[in-house]
Chains A and B, each alone.
Chain A
Amino acid sequence: MRTFLKVIGGLVVLGIIALLAIIFVPVQRTPAQTALADDWQPEEGHGEYAMRLSDCMACHTEEGGEPFAGNRAIESPLGTIYSTNITPDEETGIGGWSLADFRAALYDGVRPDGTHLYPAMPYENFRHITEEDVRAMYDYFMNEVEPVNQQVEETALSFPFDQRWGLRLWKWVALDDPGFVPEYDDPVLARGEYIVEGPGHCSACHSPRNTVMAQAGLQAGDPEFLAGGEIAGWTAPPLRGPQSAVRGWSEEDIAMILGTGRNAHAALNGEMQLVARDSSQYFTDEDLGAVAAFLVGLNDDVEPVAEDPGETETERLLASASPDMGLGARLYIDNCNACHFVDGRGADEVFPELAGNSLVTAESPRGLLTMILGGSQLPSTALRPYRLQMPGFGQRLDDEEVAALASFLRSGWGNSAAAVDAATVADTRASLE
């Protein structure tokens, strides 16, 4: 018995020591992955471009706020996280940070004082950013961004998520090796892979989360990489596999939607609109092409969608204008048909296709319901400035009607997603209010 207590006591002491160590022993920072000369200087525009690739702006800028001054509320499953001020302001921003401090935030998710950053900051992906891009971004933030003195709202998650030291344990599980080693020899594909896996941090939304809420795939070779996720009530659709949102799309289609928010098939919705607004519309044509080539490559094993399926049963039903058609079909004619038409194929770059649309057929109907209830407005981009907007129909349709309409869309024109019930609509409606 005594021995047992001793053992227990010993274990407790060890545990405490380990815990204290986890909390107080400074994190070993990941060093630069490439040795660059001390006098290495980025080319003009490199830093800003690397920032665009990494989309720092969308999260670190409040709607209507000063660029990079933080305070944007990011809804996470753990609670609301407020983004930080990353302007070079000495007091409230990152003005006092060294290059090593900056790199540690990107690679290891730690602040200079050792505080762990919540993984809303996608250091799982930013670990793969090259040293050149890190240095260029550091230079950009320190020398080109206007300092803004703004204290941001403190992030106050509930217990146990407020115990940031626990993130150290999480990182042991979640983080993979730093640096970037491409799967592809082809320089275009490798460039695309780099942008997608590293700065572009596509996987942060488009990969599912595993049991500890880490990204279930970080690299092209991981089967769960870009296999689909969910963010802020919207679907971040799979970008590979049988449900791939880009199934059958050409490289031009993908480059177009990233560059302008719209293409011949679909329009960006939800959080992805911010990506086009602040990040991907600024990509060079070469980089858009590289990302597109990489994503098309990820989908080369997927059965493409038939370009023209001919007249479908759904189209015949709608065109019959029969008063006997079901509620969902009737609501479609009364509310949706004007733009999306009886064939569910809309019009290139203006009215998205509903047939095979990943938002419509997503496993979770929430994104679709959010769209029907609240509508959506495309961002203005240089190539396509029009902020085309679908109005919300939440005022016009009750929960039963939205459920019937959504179920019709999810089963029309060859779509085969599960029906939606009114309770799910009510739930989604409540979350929008």
Chain B
Amino acid sequence: MARTDPKKEVVIVGLGWTGSILGIELAKEGLDILALERGPDRSTVPDFQYPNVIDELKYGIRYGFMQKPRNSTITVRRTLDETALPMRKLGSFLPGDGVGGAGIHWNGQTWRPMAEEFRLRSYVEENFGADLIDEEMTIQDWGVSYEELEPYFDRFEYMAGIAGQAGNINGEIQPGGNPFEAPRSRGYPMPPMPEQTDMRLFREAASAMGYHPFPRPAANATQAYTNEYGMQLGPCNYCGFCERYGCINYSKSSPQTCILDALKRYENFSYRVNSEVLRVNLAADGQTATGVTYWDEEAQEEVTQPADMVILAAYQLHNVHLMLLSGIGEPYNPQTGEGVTGKNYSYQMNGGTTLFFRDHNFNPFAAAGSSGVSIDDFAINQIDFATEGFIGGSYITAGLSNGQPIRGISLPEGTPGWGAEWKQAIGEWYGHSMSIGSHGSNMAYRDCYLDLDPTYTDRHGRPLMRMTFDWKANDIRMTQFMRRQIEPIAQSMNPDSWRSSYKSEGARYDIRPYQTTHNVGGAIMGTDPNTSAVNRYLQAWGQHNVFVLGAGAFPQNIQYNPTGAVGALAYWAADAIVNDYLPDPRPLV
């Protein structure tokens, strides 16, 4: 069974943040657009409705809003000589599916990378010498500068309604903000989230040590807000169910709260759910895409959808998978270093210290995903890489995102994991712990990449994508450095006890425990078609009518949560498409 549908001007693969942004920006231009979403439709009511969604077992443990490995997974190995095996259970990272994508189940931390991060290789070479970057490390510049992207960060932050305290407005340092951030053209659209006890303790300790604490930028609304599309947010009520859940309260920025109902008003826009794109179809000469083929779950048939332009707006892993399956860009070869698609897959190096206080009750059940205090005193632009012996940096942060009973209770070291003593400790310590985390960069390496698996296939018969990834000494040195900064802060706070968890020398990548859903690279942007998969406008080098959105464009991972940069790049690409590409469709570089 198969059918061919009438041609569209634009087909968008995936209806999360980037698909929604491109959807509305192109819909405004009057283009006939179809968005294809592999998962179900989702709305605040009924899908995130109170109290149904406040269910840790269903959504926090059993991943109600995440992709199901039986439908979609990857194979994983750590080194080139291992045989990759399918990931049959989610763990390390949690890609979502359905309308809204990961935009519904994130915590909402919305950062701008440092200006230095966009030209990381140049920055290191200029300041510390090219020798510091060894042959195995394949970091690159992005091909776009922070200064160029600033208006698009601003646009995204005002669209999404971010609560925060600016630290640098047009070069003027602002009290209470992050003095190390790149200059922004104006402050955040909403005041920052109020300070809770753990935040106060950390802020006081950090200040006493001469650091520069500031509130985390949050996509959790602190007041009623209306954005450029007329979409609305209501103030967050600190229910403590952000990450892994849809927001009950119209308070967390998401495609649903910020874009979709405005987008659905355009008659030239339509979307289909339960429609998984299987491949992008290319013209006989391979120079352009002719559309996509997708699996229509409802009709149980393959559909050929012709289109003039294809926007890949799925999650990073799926964009890269589709490129590999469709012949978009030459697949990266780690032996020769040639090829681009799948190159520079990278992740995030995090660690943390948990502090236990008998005398403080942190009320963690009243929490928001992004509520917290951070310091950037050990950020990428603050560290002497030559002296410290690594390239990278972290923000250091304290903040309780939830007090959920199954996963949200920390116990002091030495407490049994079950039985009467465990039970007693739960009673004793619930609400009495806080943590200081390090959220750090991860460099790109020659042998960390994505390609098609030679053995395993998915339910459509397509080869699974294979992830080859392991932790490297450079990043472990970085996180150990952060440990050495955090533990003195923790000790200065006089906790009754504390425990640390940082990767140490020899640590190997383990896909079982949750780490972060900040998978980046594989469809990296750049200025040279020999070393990047897409150009600086996220346009495929080889097929000018294909644009690839999302964190796949990051040439290595930044020290921050990726959504701010993903959003800014989406508006940057949308602007290039509307003002430069549509009037004259061609390679923009």
Contacts and interface: CB of A to CB of B under 8 A. Distances in A.
B45 A380 contact: no
Q: Which of A335, A385, A387 has the most CB of B within 10 A?
A: A385
A339 B249 contact: yes
Nearest to A381: B230
Contact of A385 (B43, B234, B249, B265): B265
Given A338-B248, A339-B234, A385 B261 contact: yes
B50 interface: yes
A351 B45 CA distance: 15
A384 B50 contact: no
Contact of A339 (B51, B226, B229, B237): B237
B530 interface: no
Contact of B234 (A337, A351, A391, A396): A351
Contact of A338 (B226, B233, B249, B264): B249
A341 B237 CA distance: 8
Contact-residue size bin, chain A (C-beta under 8 Å from the other chain): 20 to 34
A388 B249 contact: no
B230 A349 contact: no
A231 interface: no
A338 B50 contact: yes
B386 interface: no
B232 interface: yes
B223 A389 contact: no
B50 A386 contact: no
B45 A389 contact: yes
Q: Interface centre among B46, B233, B261, by most A CB within 10 Å?
A: B261
Interface string B208-247: 0000000000000001101001111111010100000000
B44 A389 contact: yes
B51 A386 contact: no
B262 interface: yes
Q: Which has the most chain B C-beta neighbours within 10 Å: A348, A349, A385, A386?
A: A386
Given A338-B248, A383-B230, A386-B231, A348 B224 contact: yes
Given A339-B249, A385-B262, A347 B223 contact: yes
Given A338-B50, A339-B249, A391-B49, A350 B234 contact: yes
Contacts of A390: 45
B498 interface: no
A388 B250 contact: yes
Given A338-B237, A349-B224, A396-B51, A388 B265 contact: no
B265 A350 contact: no
Contacts of A349: 224, 226, 232
A351 B264 CA distance: 22
A386 B45 contact: no
Contacts of B44: 389
Nearest to B54: A338
Interface in B30-64: 43-46, 49-51
B264 A380 contact: yes
Nearest to A384: B230
Nearest to A262: B232
Nearest to B235: A347
B80 to A, nearest CB: 50
Interface in B249-283: 249-250, 257, 261-262, 264-265
A385 B223 CA distance: 19
Contacts of A346: 234
A266 B237 CA distance: 19
Nearest to A334: B51
A351 to B, nearest CB: 5
A384 B232 contact: yes
A248 interface: no
Contacts of A391: 45-46, 49-50
Given A339-B234, A339-B237, A386-B230, A380 B224 contact: no
A41 to B, nearest CB: 29
A123 B230 CA distance: 36
A389 B234 CA distance: 12
B146 to A, nearest CB: 32
Contacts of B229: 385
Interface string A330-346: 00000101110100001
B232 A350 contact: yes
B234 A384 contact: no
A384 B226 contact: yes
Contacts of B233: 350
Contacts of A422: none
A114 interface: no
Given A375-B45, A385-B262, A385-B265, A350 B224 contact: yes
B241 to A, nearest CB: 11
A19 interface: no
B265 A338 contact: no
A335 B257 CA distance: 21
Given A338-B237, A388-B250, A391-B46, A347 B224 contact: yes
B261 A387 contact: yes
A338 B250 CA distance: 11
A390 B44 CA distance: 9
Contacts of B265: 380, 382, 385
B21 to A, nearest CB: 15
A129 to B, nearest CB: 30
Interface in A366-418: 375, 377, 380, 382-391, 396
Nearest to A377: B45
Nearest to A338: B237
A380 B237 contact: no
B234 A386 contact: no
A70 to B, nearest CB: 23
19 contacts: A337-B237, A338-B50, A347-B223, A347-B224, A348-B224, A349-B224, A349-B226, A350-B233, A350-B234, A350-B250, A377-B45, A384-B232, A385-B262, A385-B265, A386-B261, A388-B232, A390-B45, A391-B45, A396-B51
Interface of B: 43-46, 49-51, 223-224, 226, 229-235, 237, 239, 248-250, 257, 261-262, 264-265
Given A382-B265, A386-B231, 5 more contacts: A338-B237, A380-B265, A385-B231, A386-B261, A396-B51
In the A-B complex, list the 7 residue pairs whose CB atoms are closest, starting with the nearest.
A350-B234, A347-B224, A389-B45, A385-B262, A348-B224, A391-B49, A385-B261
